[in-house]
Amino acid sequence: MNGEITFSIIKPDAFGSGNTGPILAMIHEAGFEIVALKLLRMTREQAKSFYAIHKDRPFYNDLVEFMISGPVIVMILRQENAVDKFRKLIGATDPAKAEPGTVRKRFASSVQMNAVHGSDSDENALRESNFFFSEAERCL
Ligand code: CMP
C-alpha cells in the first residue's frame, strides 16, 4: 500500500464549526477513496504520542490541548501518490500561506487551528494509520 494511502484528521476547529461535510466533499472531489474512518475524542496521552515528533517545539503543549478540545475525524485515504496529492489539496500549514481553493485556505483560522492534518511522507502515513486503525478496520 506504500504510496497509495495517506492519513488525515479533521481537527476539532473544523469539526466543531460544522465543516466536516464540505471537507469530506472536497476530499471526494479530489479523487480520494475513504478506506477507514472514525469519529473520536483523543485522550491527552494519544495526542501527546501522535505528535511526539514535535515534543521539543514551543507549540507542543498548546497543540496537544487543542487536539483534545473536541471530537475529531480520523481517516485513511487512498489514491495513487496519496501523500503529495493530499498535501496539495489541504495547502500550507499556515493558512495565510495556503493557496486559494485549498482546504486550509477555506476552513483554517490559524497555524495551530488549521482544520486538517495530512501525513508528510509514506512512512508517516503508515505509522499514523496504524496508530488509529487495526488491519481489520480498513476496507483496503
Ligand atoms: P499538522 O499538519 O497536524 O502537524 C503539526 C501541527 O502542529 C500542525 O498541523 C499545526 O496544527 C501545529 N503547528 C505547526 N507549526 C506551528 C506553529 N508554528 N505554531 C503553532 N502550531 C503549529
Ligand 1 mutation pick, 61, 65, 114, max ligand atoms within 8 A of CB:
114
The alpha carbon of 121 and the centre of ligand 1 are apart by a number of angstroms equal to 16
Q: Of all residues in the chain, what percent are helix, strand and coil, respectively (each to 5)?
A: 45, 15, 35
Residue 117 catalytic? Answer: yes
Let me know: does 118 contact 5? Beta carbons within 8 Å: no
Please count the structural domains in the chain. Answer: 1
Burial class (CB in 10 A: 0-12, 13-18, 19+), 129: buried
Q: Distance from the CA of 34 to the center of ligand 1, in angstroms? A: 24
Dihedral angle computed from the Cα positions of residues 137, 21, 78 and 101, in that order, rounded to the nearest 10 degrees = -160
Give the pLDDT of residue 2: 56
Is the residue at 138 inside a domain? Answer: no
* Residue of 11, 72, 111 to mutate, ligand 1, most atoms within 8 A of C-beta: 111
Question: Considering the domain boundaries, does residue 112 fall inside one?
Answer: yes
In a domain, 140, yes or no: no
Separation between Cα atoms, residue 47 and residue 42, nearest integer Å: 6
Write down the pLDDT at residue 114.
98
pLDDT at 134 over 60: yes
What pLDDT shows up at residue 140? 83
Q: For residue 20, what are the domain limits?
A: 5-133
Entry field: residues in the chain: 140
| Banded model confidence at residue 10, pLDDT cuts 50, 70, 90 | very high
pTM check: above 0.85:
yes
Query: What are 90-107's pLDDT values in tens digits?
Result: 999 999 999 999 999 999
Q: Is 30 part of a structural domain of the chain?
A: yes
pLDDT tens figures, 15-51: 999 999 999 999 999 999 999 999 999 999 999 999 9
In a domain, 139, yes or no: no
Whose C-alpha lies nearest to ligand 1, atom 13? Answer: 112
Here the CATH number for the domain that contains residue 61 is 3.30.70.141
- Is 59 part of any domain? yes
Which residues of the chain form beta strands (DSSP E)? 5-10, 33-40, 72-78, 116-118
